[in-house]
Structure 1
């Protein structure tokens, strides 16, 4: 028996799984869940459609994997609470645009009204964003503040996706916008 056979197979399996996830993320973002097909996702990944189902079970399970692959809000909660607004505003306005996160927002927008995908997206939003945010915020009004923060963050992220520099060419004005957004975010936290 070849001792490298399992290693090579595992590497190919991981590469295949990653290719399927990437193709699905792109298709769901471009077309929405209802229009995207397993066959088209497989074609984009360069594999047989049966492999999509072998790796993920169903189109619904594939969407769940795409959503799970986008992570949680815990990354932006890590850091001093009093610097939350500045940290998030800088990430939203000044850091290089993260195309993966933008793609996930497009998936959410294009698939959120789907009878099958909508409930999955809402459940994922609760577990990956709202619940961790509520726990971090604490207090009786944590659900309200978490949703206010979600609305502000989602709006800023989508605005950046539409126009990377928010229509502001001048660096000084972009920094002013960043400071204003930081203040708004911090008020929602405090």
Structure 2
């Protein structure tokens, strides 16, 4: 096994710093409002280095945000406990993200004419099929989309809009309601007769 050179390690460290800075910036403001100079300054590098590693702001956004939004942790575990497990995780989250706040980054930039479509594709082509494949069964695509919309909506209204009815002090009630709703999407509705 060959060890990486100090130059390779330094390049990898610099690249990670740039990605982390981009994630923080895109979590705070939209793609369109974020400048490459801001990202470079936050990473402590020259803007030319950001361009060298990532080529463009769009490519940096793709790697820093679109590819980094995942739902893997919520799908780890049995289906019959998904609602309870996920509701508990959503209500116990402290939302003190180190770098990427996936909900904020998604909401901030979804309306961007430049990267909004990339985000839509990331959801439609990667996240929803992952959930749908995990679910299986009838109407898996629609059930997956409902799960994603429930999680996103809950997070946006609770944390970003700070809706009082979703405040943590209502924890037990919210956990029960959220768990039942999410589990109903996992279990699926019985087919209706025509």
Q: Note whether the superposition's TM-score is higher than 0.5.
A: yes
TM-fit CA distance, 1:39 = 1.6
Q: CA deviation at 1:128?
A: 3.5
1:32 & 1:81 partners in 2: Cα distance?
Answer: 35
2:146 equivalent to 1:184: no
CA distance in 2, matches of 1:132, 1:26: 26
Aligned to 2:48: 50
Moved over 3 A (4+): 163-166
Deviations 1:151-176 (A, max 9, x none): 1111122234234994343xxx4123
Decide whether aligned partners of structure 1 residues 99 and 150 sit closer, same or farther in structure 2, where only a CA change above 3 A counts.
same
Q: Which runs of 5+ in 1 are unaligned?
A: none
Alignment of 1:67-146 (within 5 A): 67-68=65-66, 70-97=68-95, 99=97, 103-146=101-144
C-alpha distance 64-39 of structure 1, shift in aligned 2 (>3 A): same
The match for 1:66 is 64
Out of 17, 34, 37, which is 2:35 matched to? 37
Aligned residues: 184
| Whole-Å separation in 2 of the counterparts to 1:130 and 1:113 | 20
Which residue of 1 is the match for residue 157 of structure 2?
A: 159
Task: Structure 2: give runs of 5+ residues left out of the alignment.
Answer: 188-194
Cα distance change, pair 19–117 in 1 and its aligned pair in 2 (3 A): same
TM-score (norm. length: structure 1): 0.86
The structure where helix makes up a greater share of residues is: 1
Q: Structure 1 residue 15 and structure 2 residue 37: aligned?
A: no
CA distance in 2, matches of 1:55, 1:102: 19
State the Cα distance separating 1:100 from its structure 2 match: 5.2
Offset of 1:71 from its aligned partner? 4.5
**Residues 116-175 of structure 1, C-alpha deviation per residue, up to 9 Å, x if partnerless?**
101111111123320101111123411111111111111122234234994343xxx412
> Which segment drifts farther, 54-63 or 100-109?
100-109
Question: Conserved in 1, the CA contact under 8 Å of 2:27 and 2:104?
Answer: yes
Q: Give the Cα–Cα distance (whole angstroms) in 2 for the partners of residues 159 and 22 of structure 1.
A: 26
